[in-house]
Chains A and B, each alone.
Chain A
Amino acid sequence: MKGVRICILILALFGVWILPVGCGGNSGSTTTSSTPTQTIVTSGTNVQTITVNGGPPSVPDYPQPNTAFTSVTICEHGSTSNCATIDYVMVDTGSPGLRLLSSALAGSSLSLQTETANDGNQIGECVQFSDTSYVWGPVKTVDVYLANGNEIAYSVPIHILGDSTFSTIPSTCETGSNLEEDDLNSLGANGILGIGSSQYDCSVGGTNSCASGSEPPTASYYECSILGCTSAFVSLSQQVQNPVALFSRDNNGVIIELPAVSGPTLSLTGSMVFGIGTQTNNALGSATQFSLDSNGYINTIFNGTVFSSYIDSGSNAYFFQDTIAQDNGWYTPSSTLTLSAIIGNNTDVSFSVGNADNMFNDYPTYAVFNTLAGYSNGYFGWGLPFFYGRNVYTSITPQGNGTYFAF
């Protein structure tokens, strides 16, 4: 560990880190990157620091494993003084749109207007997550400042969670597991910075069923009046949006750049670089592109079976189907396994799966576990451990069609 830190320190003295795989560590026993060398950009007007640090220390299950956090500055639209900087916002390449806890804004003097439909009704949103929990609250418009204020998205509809004026939750929002995550302890973050592959948060593969159709999706957008909230179509411009897509430049994608680790690590610092091929520091280079299908998936072949799969910084482990011993959904093999899979047609990726119980017991204060994995039936999820040691590109289009992952 000490060797790794000294190595990073030396490399940090140069503006750009060039980290060979397994820098200072015994790389043979853990994740092997398919990328021979990795360059992590640390300076530039399109660069923002991200940290895998366990999240807010006050949350009962601190430190949260393999979750990347950053700070986001929002301002009242048009103002450069009525602003608030929110820390511990989770970096999620698996969703579009900025969501912030109302409680995280409580200390600020921000006065944000809730969006209204043509009929004057206020617009609210429910989002049910893949783990069946949900968040609920009004859609409000702000200006978003990232990369030390160098990247600005004006008039961004964002999702405010746990807003006291939206205290009545529609019953149709509670059709997941009825588990609400609108406060710090339940969400484990002050918000989610969704920088996924579409601009609009209802879009996937070119389809947006929240703007028009035969009937609005339940558990999505709502119009709210004193009579309550009912599911409603909402115009694209009023839907919650990926702030990156609204930048005036560097708006076509994001690169997550996190260094490799050789084993459990206290915390990890890296970069979120905006734009792909728009500046000298964000070229695609030799990275291989994998086009997303209409459902937002790429293929992964594992154990001879083709799985729909995704690369997602908001997932905190490798998730796949196997008969490895489990505890509470985590894989707990008796000794560390080295496995391999093929992404796309012929890109080999090798990864290691350790015993989650042992990791958590042996390193109770650590946040970075590069061999953490869990069960998933029928799909392959490449979560944050996949990002350690390789730069991962997620491209963005308005409706999420024609997008790709690259690494």
Chain B
Amino acid sequence: MNINKGLIIMSMVIQKTIRCMILRILIVLIVNVVLLLPSTASASLGGDVTTVQADQVRMKGTLRKTPNNAYTVQEIKTSTGTLVREYLSPAGKIFAVVWNGPFLPDLRQLFGSYFEQFSQSVKNHKSKGPRIRGALMIREPGLVVQTGGHMRAYFGRAYIPELVPQGIHMEEIQ
């Protein structure tokens, strides 16, 4: 074995080690990103534009801009056929979410930090008989939730009144 050949082999081993290290770092990075995804990439009521973009990629949603640019709508069709729309204000916040389809969407994810308030409101609302069957109407300071339909044909929407851009008629949010 001559010296040159030895050097070449040595350099190949070093290169392989470096490649290996880079690969390991990459894997660690990817794993970290994946682990962080559930807490950072779920778009939810009151969330900002970055969560919508991440959600668009993750849930294969299509981003649709309204002609008047008063807000941006992201539509996500889930694997069970339920359509979810997220309404993003010019200020960059999700001010409303809407759903319709055969299964309820994951409201815990969709409502984000508003879920606990919502859950408590439903319990208070339902204990305030006479009960409404087939619909739900929650109107509280800071949160409005309206749902209806019947099994395998559900619809609903939730919005945060103070985040709704001025001049928007809520009838068009559905």
A309 to B129, CA, bound (A): 25
A132 to B81, CA, bound (A): 18
8 Å CB contact of A328 from B79, B80, B118, B137: B137
A216 to B10, CA, bound (A): 53
A161 contacts the other chain (CB 8 A): no
A-B contact count (CB 8 A): 180
A88 CB → nearest B CB, Å: 14
8 Å CB contact of B103 from A61, A128, A215, A316: A128
B151 adjacent to A96 (CB under 8 Å): yes
B102 contacts the other chain (CB 8 A): yes
Q: Give 16 pairs: A residue, B residue, CB < 8 Å, sorted on A.
A: A61-B130, A63-B130, A95-B152, A128-B154, A131-B132, A132-B107, A133-B122, A178-B108, A214-B79, A215-B79, A296-B152, A329-B136, A329-B137, A330-B132, A377-B157, A377-B174
Given contacts A65-B130, A176-B104, A378-B174, contact A130 B150 (CB under 8 A): yes
**Which chain B residues (87-133) contact chain A, with CB distance < 8 Å?**
100-104, 106-109, 118-119, 122-123, 125-133
A332 to B137, CA, bound (A): 14
Stretch of B26-34, B51-59, B68-76, B141-149 on the interface side: B141-149
A264 contacts the other chain (CB 8 A): no
B27 CB → nearest A CB, Å: 26
A129 to B150, CA, bound (A): 7
A402 contacts the other chain (CB 8 A): no
8 Å CB contact of A374 from B108, B122, B132, B156: B132
Given contacts A95-B150, A295-B153, contact A329 B132 (CB under 8 A): yes
What are the nearest 7 A-B pairs in CB distance? A61-B129, A315-B134, A329-B137, A94-B150, A378-B174, A95-B151, A204-B152
Residues of A within 8 A of B (CB): 60-61, 63-67, 92, 94-96, 127-133, 172, 174-179, 186, 188, 194, 196, 198, 201-204, 207, 209, 213-215, 217-220, 295-297, 308, 310, 312, 314-317, 319, 321, 326, 328-330, 360, 374-379, 381, 383, 400
B25 CB → nearest A CB, Å: 32
A209 adjacent to B80 (CB under 8 Å): yes
B172 CB → nearest A CB, Å: 10
Consensus secondary structure, chain A interface: loop
8 Å CB contact of B151 from A201, A209, A319: A201
A297 to B157, CA, bound (A): 18
User: Interface residues of B, CB < 8 Å — how many?
Assistant: 44
B131 adjacent to A64 (CB under 8 Å): yes
B23 contacts the other chain (CB 8 A): no
A131 adjacent to B134 (CB under 8 Å): yes
8 Å CB contact of A129 from B108, B127, B151, B155: B151
- Residues of chain B within 8 A (CB-CB) of A209 are 79-81, 102-103
- Residues of chain A within 8 A (CB-CB) of B134 are 94, 130-131, 312, 314-317, 319, 381, 383
Identity of the chain A residue whose Cβ is nearest the Cβ of B133 in the assembled complex: A316
A133 to B138, CA, bound (A): 14
8 Å CB contact of B122 from A65, A132, A203, A312: A132
- Residues of chain A within 8 A (CB-CB) of B155 are 130, 308, 377-379
A67 adjacent to B133 (CB under 8 Å): yes
A319 adjacent to B147 (CB under 8 Å): no
B103 adjacent to A329 (CB under 8 Å): no
A203 to B102, CA, bound (A): 9
- Residues of chain A within 8 A (CB-CB) of B100 are 295
- Residues of chain A within 8 A (CB-CB) of B21 are none
B20 contacts the other chain (CB 8 A): no
